[in-house]
């Protein structure tokens, strides 16, 4: 059986995804990519995990900026300029981290970074109000340089995403105006998330090192604008965002 990426019973072969990334890297020589491979479910043994790592290196090795290339620098201390100038524009974070106790593994090698270098934050909710409250708190935490999100040499990834719950799936089959897909749910939430993105930028804040948003175009438009605006902020920008209750309608 082959490694697959999935959120259901049938997944997309990892080989197809790696080939797509290789094509993107060739066609966009100025872009930097961070690829996270985690949740290695199915209780794979060490040999299977090594097989997956080898497949990554075989397909993408010429672009990978791993620990060997970094020559002693920490993951979070490698600059985008260095990566672009060298042509090594792909950082691969490999391994389970929070899932390590139930199988999987992975971690540091010459070409891949261990899971602890990238701190993930996502609300695991289908309610836009709950997600915005969570995201706001993580942004405030990150900009205050407090907590694990700002550990030296690491990066923070804050996910602005809605995740389906049992009631979400059941609701898709009920009559009425309920959203019929996660994409539709996300699209309905676009105005609320767009308003939060605008407030974050106007408050002089950055949404972590990496801002993860589901679905390009449509609901993801605000993410591109926000990321570009954050990248243009001066290095000494002061974040004035505060935590408070928000109400969103999906």
Is the distance from CB of 195 to CB of 170 less than 8 angstroms? no
Average pLDDT over residues 211-218: 70
Q: In terms of pLDDT, which residue wins out, 147 or 38?
A: 38
Q: What proportion of the chain, given as a percentage, has pLDDT over 70? A: 85
Q: In terms of pLDDT, which residue wins out, 29 or 188?
A: 29
Q: In terms of pLDDT, which residue wins out, 43 or 188?
A: 43
Average pLDDT over residues 46-75: 92
DSSP state letter for 49? H
C-alpha span between 163 and 39 (Å, rounded): 16
C-alpha span between 11 and 5 (Å, rounded): 5
Radius of gyration of the chain from Cα atoms?
Answer: 19
Q: pLDDT for 167-193, tens place per residue?
A: 877 877 778 777 777 777 777 777 778
Torsion sign across C-alpha atoms 50, 52, 53, 59: positive
- The confidence score (pLDDT) of residue 8 equals 58
Average pLDDT over residues 152-170: 81
Is the distance from CB of 171 to CB of 204 less than 8 angstroms? no
- Band of pLDDT at residue 149, cut at 50, 70 and 90: very low
Q: In terms of pLDDT, which residue wins out, 205 or 237?
A: 205
Q: What CA–CA distances, in Å, run from 231 to 28, 115, 228?
A: 19, 25, 5
Residue with tokens 């602890």: 116
- The confidence score (pLDDT) of residue 7 equals 66
Average pLDDT, the chain: 81
pLDDT at 148 over 50: no
Q: In terms of pLDDT, which residue wins out, 181 or 38?
A: 38
């Amino acid at each position: 059986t082959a490694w697959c990426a999935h959120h259901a019973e049938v997944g997309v072969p990892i080989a197809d995804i790696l080939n797509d990334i290789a094509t993107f890297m060739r066609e966009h020589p100025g872009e930097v990519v961070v690829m996270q491979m985690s949740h290695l479910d199915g209780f794979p043994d060490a040999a299977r995990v090594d097989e997956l790592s080898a497949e990554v290196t075989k397909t993408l090795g010429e672009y990978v900026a791993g620990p060997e290339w970094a020559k002693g620098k920490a993951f979070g201390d490698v600059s985008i300029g260095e990566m672009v100038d060298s042509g090594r524009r792909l950082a691969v974070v490999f391994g389970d981290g929070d899932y390590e106790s139930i199988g999987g593994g992975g971690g540091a090698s010459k070409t891949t970074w261990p899971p602890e270098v990238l701190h993930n934050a996502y609300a695991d909710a289908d309610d836009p109000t709950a997600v915005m409250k969570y995201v706001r708190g993580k942004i405030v935490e990150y900009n205050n340089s407090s907590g694990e999100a700002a550990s030296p040499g690491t990066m923070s990834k804050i996910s602005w995403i809605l995740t389906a719950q049992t009631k979400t799936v059941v609701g898709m089959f009920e009559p009425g105006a309920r959203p019929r897909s996660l994409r539709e749910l996300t699209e309905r939430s676009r105005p609320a998330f767009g308003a939060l993105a605008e407030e974050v930028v106007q408050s002089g804040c950055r949404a972590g090192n990496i801002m993860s948003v589901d679905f390009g175009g449509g609901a993801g438009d605000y993410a591109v604008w926000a990321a570009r605006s954050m990248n243009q902020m001066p290095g000494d920008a002061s974040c004035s965002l505060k935590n408070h209750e928000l109400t969103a309608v999906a």
